[in-house]
Chain A
């Protein structure tokens, strides 16, 4: 009962390109996210996982079902719950300092300066305070957005494939940093990705979705200590379990049974 987020029988149906055509994107999705929990949603591309996160965040309305946050029905976005966008939602007309401080309009100047400095430091961007987003790399821009989300001190952070556009090494580094920040800040995180390895590296629990119309077909508890070793048997076991649920085999040349 005491969940941070409750998703209850959420279905989503879009109008298709042809008249009268209906596309079912999500089918009675239900899930619970506990306070302080790090939950990843994985699924094949086009399964509706981004749509689900946008419904949970209140940007779009579900065709049926409801989303509750702290027991209250969600009717729209709220600054207690900050969304980190796939395509980078950092404002290009503001510099790093101004972007990170964007959610702090109500604070006093002194408080604001302290908070901005703290989170810029936390995402390792000290020295780039006055840089503009177009002068930064993709990974640095994504750090700015994470710092902007954290600085607003939300209860929940929604992340929609935030590292999808980054190169492999940057992605590994960003994951490690995100886990470190999550451990120190104690936020609830709901994280959407198509990358199974990413999900197992990050999450307390992984919700696996089916192809469209998306349903949650399994919840995998990843009760592994952090930092996680990517060659430990526990890690490989969880990863292979999710591959199996998604109907894929890891051995090259072999098709799913």
Chain B
């Protein structure tokens, strides 16, 4: 509780003889207030948005009501589910590929310093190139197929995953390594039972960042290379009749699904095997 909260609580205790009914509203950390704050902010935002569109007299930019009707229209036509599934399908493949390659690669490069010397400059040069810059190359190599966006998502997510795994191994506590050596582990056992396990909390953090980036990129990739998905919806709605209600509907769905994806990956941090790695962080 912050100091202001403490003051209020103290005041209450001294002034009100029966604080029971009042504390529920008086305590700034009560559940009620924790719900009211974000919901109130959202309501305010939607109201200002609606009023701003009306006052500006724009007939292209939608009000929140228009967007809601747009989403409903997409559901009725069966397009919304289809597009969401298409986008998630591409993210799943590109991202899974990045995890399967990035985690072992990062562990090995983190462990063998000579391999790290060889690969690190390569990684550092490729890492800052935006996946968007790869779009022409992806089209050249894979044509207008699902493989192109999957390749772009892979590129976008493999670097954060690899780099976080490398850093995790390099910063691993010496005492775990010595204990492992002491018990006579083979190299394979050492990787599976100690290095991987010791690095897992940091790897999961890398995976979370990578999934966020992957979701950003799938939408961008779909704007060019394919004919389904939420990114495609946005470009198509704009090109076919300036349907800005559907453009914003697509944006809203992208935001909501991104949120759900992050909440899902966060669940990984709650397993007993990795919780030790997040000690002290507020959750």
Give Cα A87 to B178, complex, Å.
12
Residue of A nearest to B277 (CB): A92
What is the interface of chain B mostly: helix, strand, loop, or mixed? helix
Q: Contact: B183 with A152, CB < 8 Å? A: yes
Scan residues 191-210 of chain A and give those whose CB is less than 8 A from a CB of chain B: none
Q: Report the minimal beta-carbon distance from A134 to chain B, rounded to whole angstroms.
A: 4
B279 at the interface (CB under 8 A from A): yes
Q: Contact: A134 with B182, CB < 8 Å? A: no
Q: Report the minimal beta-carbon distance from B239 to chain A, rounded to whole angstroms.
A: 52
B45 at the interface (CB under 8 A from A): no
Partner among B181, B183, B184, B276 whose Cβ is within 8 Å of the Cβ of A92: B276
Chain A interface residue count: which class? Answer: 20 to 34
Q: A84-119, CB under 8 A of B: which get 1 and which 0? A: 010111011111000000110100000000000000
Most chain B Cβ neighbours within 10 Å, of A88, A92, A102, A133 = A92
What is the interface of chain A mostly: helix, strand, loop, or mixed? loop
Stretch at the interface among B119-127, B192-200, B261-269: B192-200
Q: Contact: B175 with A132, CB < 8 Å? A: no
Question: Number of contacting residues on B, CB 8 A?
Answer: 21
B198: A residues at CB distance < 8 A = 91, 93
Q: Report the minimal beta-carbon distance from A28 to chain B, rounded to whole angstroms.
A: 26
Most chain A Cβ neighbours within 10 Å, of B175, B183, B197, B273 = B183
A85: B residues at CB distance < 8 A = 175, 178-179
A93: B residues at CB distance < 8 A = 197-198, 200, 273-274, 276
B59 at the interface (CB under 8 A from A): no
B175: A residues at CB distance < 8 A = 85, 87-89
Q: Contact: B182 with A79, CB < 8 Å? A: yes
Give Cα A94 to B275, complex, Å.
11
Give Cα A30 to B86, complex, Å.
72
A83-B276 contact, Cβ under 8 Å, with A89-B175, A91-B176, A93-B197? no
Q: Contact: B184 with A78, CB < 8 Å? A: yes
B273: A residues at CB distance < 8 A = 93-94
Most chain B Cβ neighbours within 10 Å, of A89, A93, A95 = A93
Residues of B within 8 A of A (CB): 173, 175-176, 178-179, 181-184, 189, 194, 197-198, 200, 272-277, 279
Given contacts A59-B181, A82-B182, 10 further A-B contacts (CB under 8 A): A57-B182, A82-B183, A83-B178, A85-B175, A89-B178, A93-B198, A94-B197, A95-B272, A105-B189, A134-B275
